[in-house]
C-alpha cells in the first residue's frame, strides 16, 4: 500500500494544553536472559497485585486519570445519553427442559440479567434467579446454568468481581430454594447432568494457595461427578491426566444419556481431541476416539453409536462428518456435509435436522439439511448481519434464534420446524432511529497484498473530507470472528458524529483455519500490518485523518493496539488498549496464560523469542517518542489477562513518552472487575462514558 507522507510526521494534538504530571513509578534492576539475550524488566514489582505499594500505585494512577476526565464537561451528557440508550428491555434465547422454558431478561438498567422460567411463553413467567440480589453493587454475575433433564433442578455457576473462578450451587426449580450443594474452584467449565438427574459432571482445578487465587497458573484440570446432596469433598474423580498437566478438559453427557464425552484441548489451539465413556456399560473405561490433535473437532450430536462432528480436517473452511463409535477406524468415517466456499460456523441438531450456519465475508447464512446432509432450504434473514441459536432436542418441533446487525438490536425469533416459518418472539424498542445510520463493507489491501475486509458504520450523509472522528476496532487472533452486531455504545459514538470501523483481521476465523493460521505464531505481524493498512486506507480515502483516528481492542485486541501504537505512533490520534496482553515474554507465567502459547509461541522457544520481543508492546516503547493520547484500561480482578500487563505497560509508557507532549497517557483501573464478562451495567456505562469523553477531548470533537 502506498504510504502517505502526512502520516510520517508526528505532531501534538493539543498544543495549547500543558503536559500532565504522572505519579512517580520506581524502577528496579531486574534483568532476564533469554537465549543469551539480556532483557530488562524495571517494573517487575507491579506484578505483585497483593502488595501495598502496588495498591498505592493503582490509587494514584486512578486519581490522575479521574482528574483528567473530570475536566471534560461533555462526559455528563455522554453518560446521560448512554444511560438512556441502554435502558431498553432485552431477552436471552429461550431453551426448554421438561415442560418448562428458561430465559434471561433485563429490564434495561439492571446490573445483571434475571433468569425466568415459564410453561407458557405468552405468560410473563416467574423469577428463578435474580443475580442482582447476590451483591449490593451488582458484581456477582450468573456465569452459567444447567437444567436437569426432568426440569426439576438447576445447577448454576456464579462469579465474583469479574473473576473466571466459578462457584456452583443447585436450586430446586419448584420451590426456588437452594439445596446444600456448593462447589468451588471450578473454571472454564459447565455442568452436565447424568441421565437420571442424580448429579452432574464438572471440571475444576486444585485450590490455589491463599493470596495466589488471581495469579497462580491453572494446570492439572480434572473432571468430577457431584452427587446431589453430597459435600464437595465426596465428589467422584472421573478423569485426570497427571502426565498432561496442560490439557484442558470439558465433560458433557450426550442427549440420549448413553455417553460421557470428554473434550480435550491443548492450550488455545483449535486442534483438539475427543474421548468418551459408554455409560450403558458398568465400569467401562474411556476410549480415546480422537487423540491425534490433527484438526478441530466439535461434537454436534449422536444417533445411537453414530456421532456427528464439525471438523476442519482436510477442509479449512469446515465440514460435517459422522463416526461410528463402534467402528471408529478413519476408513469408515463419512462426510455428511462437504466443505463449502463459505466458512462453516455452527451446526445444531434440532427437530431431526441440521441447522447449519455459515459466514460469507463475515455475514451469516443459515441453511437446513436433512440427516443425510441434503440441503432442504435456507432460512431468510432480515438483512446482512449475524444470526445464531437454533438449539433444541432431536424431537423438538420448535427452536429459537437471534438476528442482529450494526443498527438492528438483537431480535429473537421463534421458528416452527414443521412449517419452516419464523415469527418475531421479542423485538427491543430503543430511543433512537436506526434509519439514520448506514453501513458498508470494504476490502483493504494489506502490506503483503492480502485483501482484508472491514465494516464501516456511520450517520447517513457523511462527508469524505478527512474530518470525521473515527474509531477503528479489531481483534485478530485465537480463531475468533467479528461479525456485525448491535451496540448502544457504538450508537452513542455515531450520534456524536463518529465513524465506527470493524476490521476482520487475519488470525480470526472469518475465512476458516487458513485465515487463522495466517495471523498466529510466526505470522502474527500480519495482524498488525492488516490493522495499520486499514488505518491508512481510511485516511487515504478521506474518511478521517491521522489526528482524528482512534484505535481500540481488548485482550488479544489490546495486544493489537499496543503493538500498532508502538510500531506506528505517528499514525493514530488516540489509542485504547483494553485488558491487553502487553508483555509477550512473561504472559505464560500467570493463570491460564500458558494456554496461549499455542497462539503466540513462548519466549522459552529460542526460534520465536526474537519475534515476540520485536512486537511485545511493553518492550518496544522508545524513550523520547511522542505517543498518541492513550488510555490503558484493565480490571483489578482480571485473572484471565492479569492486570500486571497493563500496569507495567502504562508505567513504561509514561516514562518513555516525550516529556513536553500534551498528549495524555493514562491508565484506568476498574475495581472489583475482571476481564469483562459479568461486568455490571452501571460499570459498563461508566466505562463507556469515560472512553468516549476521552476521545471527545483528544480527537477534538464538536458534536
Residues with catalytic function: 555, 675
Task: Tell me the C-alpha distance between 254 and 257, whole Å.
Answer: 5
* DSSP-derived secondary structure for 267-306: TT-S-EEEEEEETTSTTPPPEEEE-S--S-EEEEEEETTE
Nine-digit cell at 301? 450430536
Closest CA to 225 of 256, 255, 191: 191
User: Which residue in 193, 241, 177, 188 sits closest to 218, CA to CA?
Assistant: 188
Could you tell me which of 651, 653, 659 has the C-alpha nearest to residue 53? 651
* Alpha-carbon span 464 to 151, nearest angstrom: 57
**HSE-up of residue 62 (Cα within 13 Å, Cβ side):** 13
The DSSP output letter for 676 is S
User: Which candidate, 458, 450, 409, places its Cα nearest to that of 431?
Assistant: 409
309, three cell numbers: 462432528
Distance from C-alpha of 571 to C-alpha of 535, rounded to nearest angstrom:
8
> Which residue, among 89, 87, 94, has the nearest Cα to 402 in the 3D structure?
94
Q: Tell me the C-alpha distance between 293 and 3, whole Å.
A: 42
- Neighbour-count burial for 212-223, b at 16+ CB within 10 Å, e otherwise: eebbbbbeebbb
Of 231, 235, 243, 170, which Cα lies nearest the Cα of 204?
235
Residue pair 603/587 in contact (Cβ under 8 Å)? The answer is no
First-to-last C-alpha distance (Å) of the chain: 33
* Spatial separation of the C-alpha atoms in residues 195 and 259, rounded to whole Å: 10
The pair phi, psi for residue 93, each rounded to 5°, is: -60, 130
**Distance, CA of 482 to CA of 363 (rounded, Å):** 9
Buried b (16+ CB within 10 A) or exposed e, 178-197: eeebebeebbbbbbbbbeee
Dump strand ranges (E) for 513-598: 549-554, 574-578
Residues 91, 380: Cα–Cα separation, whole Å = 22
Cα–Cα nearest to 651, from 42, 213, 4, 157:
42
Amino acid at each position: 500500500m502506498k504510504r502517505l507522507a502526512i502520516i510520517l510526521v508526528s505532531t501534538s494534538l493539543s498544543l495549547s494544553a500543558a503536559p500532565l504530571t504522572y505519579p512517580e513509578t520506581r524502577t528496579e534492576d531486574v534483568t532476564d536472559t533469554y537465549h543469551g539475550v539480556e532483557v530488562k524488566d524495571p517494573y517487575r514489582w507491579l506484578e505483585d497485585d497483593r502488595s501495598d505499594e502496588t495498591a498505592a500505585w493503582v490509587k494514584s494512577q486512578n486519581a490522575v486519570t479521574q482528574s483528567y476526565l473530570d475536566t471534560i464537561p461533555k462526559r455528563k451528557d455522554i453518560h446521560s445519553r448512554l444511560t438512556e440508550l441502554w435502558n431498553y428491555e432485552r431477552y436471552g434465547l429461550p431453551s426448554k427442559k421438561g415442560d418448562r422454558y428458561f430465559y434471561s431478561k433485563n429490564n434495561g438498567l439492571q446490573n445483571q440479567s434475571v433468569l425466568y422460567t415459564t410453561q407458557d411463553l405468552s405468560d410473563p413467567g416467574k423469577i428463578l434467579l435474580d443475580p442482582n440480589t447476590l451483591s449490593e453493587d451488582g458484581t456477582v454475575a450468573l456465569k452459567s446454568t444447567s437444567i436437569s433433564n426432568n426440569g426439576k433442578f438447576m445447577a448454576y455457576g456464579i462469579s465474583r468481581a469479574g473473576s473466571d473462578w466459578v462457584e456452583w450451587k443447585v436450586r430446586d426449580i419448584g420451590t426456588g430454594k437452594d439445596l446444600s450443594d456448593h462447589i468451588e474452584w471450578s473454571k472454564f467449565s459447565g455442568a452436565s447432568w447424568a441421565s437420571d438427574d442424580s448429579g452432574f459432571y464438572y471440571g475444576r482445578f486444585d485450590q490455589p494457595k491463599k493470596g495466589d487465587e488471581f495469579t497462580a497458573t491453572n494446570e492439572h484440570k480434572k473432571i468430577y461427578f457431584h452427587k446431589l446432596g453430597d459435600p464437595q469433598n465426596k465428589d467422584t474423580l472421573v478423569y485426570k491426566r497427571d502426565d498432561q498437566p496442560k490439557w484442558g478438559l470439558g465433560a458433557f453427557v450426550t442427549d440420549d444419556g448413553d455417553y460421557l464425552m470428554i473434550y480435550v484441548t491443548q492450550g488455545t489451539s483449535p486442534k483438539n481431541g475427543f474421548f468418551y465413556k459408554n455409560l450403558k456399560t458398568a465400569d467401562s473405561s474411556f476410549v480415546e476416539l480422537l487423540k491425534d490433535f490433527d484438526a478441530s473437532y466439535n461434537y454436534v450430536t449422536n444417533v445411537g453409536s453414530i456421532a456427528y462432528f464439525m471438523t476442519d480436517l482436510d477442509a479449512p473452511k469446515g465440514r460435517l462428518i459422522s463416526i461410528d463409535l463402534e467402528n471408529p477406524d478413519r476408513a469408515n468415517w463419512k462426510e455428511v456435509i462437504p466443505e463449502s466456499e463459505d466458512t462453516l460456523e455452527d451446526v445444531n441438531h434440532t427437530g431431526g435436522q441440521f441447522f447449519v450456519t455459515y459466514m460469507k465475508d463475515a455475514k451469516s447464512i443459515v441453511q437446513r439439511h436433512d440427516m443425510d446432509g441434503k440441503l432442504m432450504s435456507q432460512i431468510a434473514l432480515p438483512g446482512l448481519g449475524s444470526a445464531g441459536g437454533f438449539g433444541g432436542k432431536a424431537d423438538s418441533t420448535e427452536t429459537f434464534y437471534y438476528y442482529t446487525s450494526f443498527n438492528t438490536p438483537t431480535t429473537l425469533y421463534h421458528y416452527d420446524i414443521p412449517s419452516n416459518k419464523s415469527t418475531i418472539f421479542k423485538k427491543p424498542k430503543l430511543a433512537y432511529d436506526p434509519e439514520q445510520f448506514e453501513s458498508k463493507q470494504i476490502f483493504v489491501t494489506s502490506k503483503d497484498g492480502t485483501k482484508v475486509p472491514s465494516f464501516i458504520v456511520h450517520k447517513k450523509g457523511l462527508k469524505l473530507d478527512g474530518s470525521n472522528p473515527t474509531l477503528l476496532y479489531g481483534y485478530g487472533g485465537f480463531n475468533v470472528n467479528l461479525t456485525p452486531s448491535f451496540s448502544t455504545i457504538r450508537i452513542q459514538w455515531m450520534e456524536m458524529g463518529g465513524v465506527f470501523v470493524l476490521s476482520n483481521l487475519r488470525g480470526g476465523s472469518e475465512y476458516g483455519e487458513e485465515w487463522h493460521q495466517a495471523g498466529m505464531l510466526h505470522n502474527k505481524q500480519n495482524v498488525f500490518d492488516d490493522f495499520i493498512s486499514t488505518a491508512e486506507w481510511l485516511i487515504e480515502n478521506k474518511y478521517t485523518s491521522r489526528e482524528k483516528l482512534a484505535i481500540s481492542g481488548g485482550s488479544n485486541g489490546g495486544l493489537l493496539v499496543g503493538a500498532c501504537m508502538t510500531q506506528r505512533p505517528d499514525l493514530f490520534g488516540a489509542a485504547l488498549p483494553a485488558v491487553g496482553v502487553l508483555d509477550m515474554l512473561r504472559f505464560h507465567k500467570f493463570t491460564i496464560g500458558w494456554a496461549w502459547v499455542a497462539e503466540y509461541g513462548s519466549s522459552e522457544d529460542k526460534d520465536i523469542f526474537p519475534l515476540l520481543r520485536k512486537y511485545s508492546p511493553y518492550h518496544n516503547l522508545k524513550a523520547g517518542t511522542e505517543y498518541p493520547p492513550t488510555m490503558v484500561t484493565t480490571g483489578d480482578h482480571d485473572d484471565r489477562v492479569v492486570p500486571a500487563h497493563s500496569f507495567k505497560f502504562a508505567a513504561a509508557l509514561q516514562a518513555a513518552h516525550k516529556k513536553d507532549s500534551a498528549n495524555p497517557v493514562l491508565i484506568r483501573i476498574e475495581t472489583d472487575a475482571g476481564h469483562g464478562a459479568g461486568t455490571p451495567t452501571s460499570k459498563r456505562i461508566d466505562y463507556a462514558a469515560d472512553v468516549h469523553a476521552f476521545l471527545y477531548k483528544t480527537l477534538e470533537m464538536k458534536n
